[in-house]
Amino acid sequence: DAGVIQSPRHEVTEMGQEVTLRCKPISGHNSLFWYRQTMMRGLELLIYFNNNVPIDDSGMPEDRFSAKMPNASFSTLKIQPSEPRDSAVYFCASGPTTSSYNEQFFGPGTRLTVL
């Protein structure tokens, strides 16, 4: 298996622009997690899905952030409009299930820079 796939790997954009980050989880995994990592705050959970349904989005910073999972093999995290403080590395992770003792497998991340 190729593991969790994220695209793009790097994104540089200007303040006010829309940014869309993409994730393909490991086939067969039914839970998907979006994290943000910064030097200031470390690794933060933004939102997670189980069987394509958002379960907890309490970590999403504000309404500018939205996430979707239209099917079991694809998820997006969108920031509109983007701001410089959104600059971070965004990780997607997937796992077999949220109801048992299972690790999460992380993608390589998308490094976002908002100028």
Partner 1 sequence: GESVGLHLPTLSVQEGDNSIINCAYSNSASDYFIWYKQESGKGPQFIIDIRSNMDKRQGQRVTVLLNKTVKHLSLQIAATQPGDSAVYFCAETSSGSARQLTFGSGTQLTVLP
Residue in 23, 44, 31, 43 with CA at minimum distance from that of residue 108: 23
DSSP string, the chain: ----EEE-SEEEE-TT--EEEEEEPPTT--EEEEEEEETTTEEEEEEEEETTEEEE-TT--STTEEEEEEETTEEEEEESS--GGG-EEEEEEEES-SSSS---EE---EEEEE-
Q: Does 25 bind partner 1 (CB under 8 A)?
A: no
| Count of residues in contact with partner 1, rule CB under 8 A | 29
Scanning the structure block, which residue is given the tokens 């298996």?
1
Among 93, 94, 112, 114, binds partner 1 (CB under 8 A): 93
Residue closer to partner 1, measured from CB, 80 or 97: 97
Taking the complex as a whole, the smallest distance from the CB of residue 90 to partner 1 amounts, in Å, to: 10
Among 78, 87, 106, 113, binds partner 1 (CB under 8 A): 106
Among 4, 21, 60, 67, binds partner 1 (CB under 8 A): 4
Determine contact, residues 106/4, Cβ cutoff 8 Å: yes
Q: Does 70 bind partner 1 (CB under 8 A)?
A: no
Query: Which of the residues 26 through 65 are near partner 1 (CB under 8 A)?
Result: 31, 33, 39-43, 45, 48, 50, 55-56
Binding site for partner 1 (CB under 8 A): 4, 31, 33, 39-43, 45, 48, 50, 55-56, 91, 93, 95, 97-109
